[in-house]
Amino acid sequence: MNYIIPKIKMIILHYYMKLLTYKIKNLDTQQIGVLQNQLVYNLNNCFGNISLVDLIQLEDYQDHVANFISNNDCLKHDIEDITVLPVIPKPTSFRDAYAFRQHVATSRQNRGSEMIPEFDEFPVFYFSNHNAMFADGQNIELMPDHFHRLDYELEFAIVIGKGGKNILSKDADNHIAGFCILNDLSARRLQMEEMKLNLGPAKGKDFANVIGPYLVTPNELESKSIDTPFGKKYDLQMSCYVNGELLSKGNAKDMNWTFAEIIERASYGVELFPGDIIGSGTVGTGCLLELNGTEKRKNPDYIERWIQENDEIEMQIEGLGKITNKIIKSDSNHSLLKLKK
């Protein structure tokens, strides 16, 4: 009996795993762990001085993690006693896709543009700043210019666990280590000005991305998965609140391009690496730019709403938890907008 019970625990833990990067409060050393029932089991205690990216590359790592926990071999912390860090604090790269047709079509309609047919021909993405990652619970200090039409974007993201080149969509789901919530903060005035030059988004997007609170392994979401000929989709409710008010709501299953298809395009002729992050793009109704535009079409006198200093943004995705961040303003008076010639 003593042998059977740990084995049963190991199987259960293998299929329900949330991985995170954290530090113990008042200490700067980064740690990795797995969350189970409000307890964080320290995995460096089991695997040595490795990162989460190192962990997800180990063969059968989930079985080893489950075995350590079931045998009570790991140092444990109450989740209230740790500070969560970005799931991958320094990703090897960060691509953000454009996978939700509703968001694209509505945003174009709001600008008086027809839907672009190329959206339905191939998935697209852009590269953003992989060194500008923030964590759940972290205050985000922004420069004054960022507050000119400051926006959130409700997304979710994958972390690549198995690298590769020229990955086909039929194989691509096997390269995904897990999923997390993504908030792609956007300074719309900077973004729109630079994109008139047919480059970008760049300065309008490169300053803050929130990713977390943990990495949920694909097997944990299996009951929510939807098989398609082009890879899996996931039936997950998505929502965003600002200061407690629900503003955006959607579902991850409405992606018109699967992550498998996005991986196929992203890896064409180039190597993807473990730790690369790829975002889904904004879900329909998932940002203020889209919501404001829709309301302005209905009522030209509508007063646009944007993120303000001291606003709190909370995003929730079914099965992936929630991320909450307060937005604060730097006391710097340095301005790119004032430097324009």
Q: What is the dihedral of CA 13, 14, 18, 22, to 10 degrees?
A: 90
d(CA 290, CA 80): 36
- The answer to whether the beta carbons of residues 132 and 210 sit under 8 Å apart is no
Q: Please state, in angstroms and rounded to a whole number, the distance separating the CA atoms of residues 148 and 304.
A: 12
| Side chain identity, residue 8 | I
- pTM: predicted TM-score of the whole model, two decimal places: 0.94
Find all residues with CB under 8 Å of 301, minimum gap 6, and list them. Answer: none
SS3 (DSSP) at 64: helix
Distances (CA, A) of 290 to 40, 162, 177, 248: 38, 35, 31, 10
Q: Is the Cβ–Cβ distance between 232 and 219 less than 8 Å?
A: no
Digitized pLDDT (tens) for each residue of the chain, 341 residues in all: 333 333 434 444 444 799 999 999 777 789 999 998 889 999 998 899 999 999 999 999 998 888 888 877 678 899 999 999 999 999 999 999 999 999 999 999 999 999 999 999 999 999 999 999 999 999 999 999 999 999 999 999 999 999 999 999 999 999 999 999 999 999 999 999 999 999 889 999 999 999 999 999 999 999 999 999 999 999 999 999 999 999 999 999 999 999 999 999 999 999 999 999 999 999 999 999 999 999 999 999 999 999 999 999 999 999 999 999 999 999 999 999 999 98
The token duo for 69 is: 């926990």
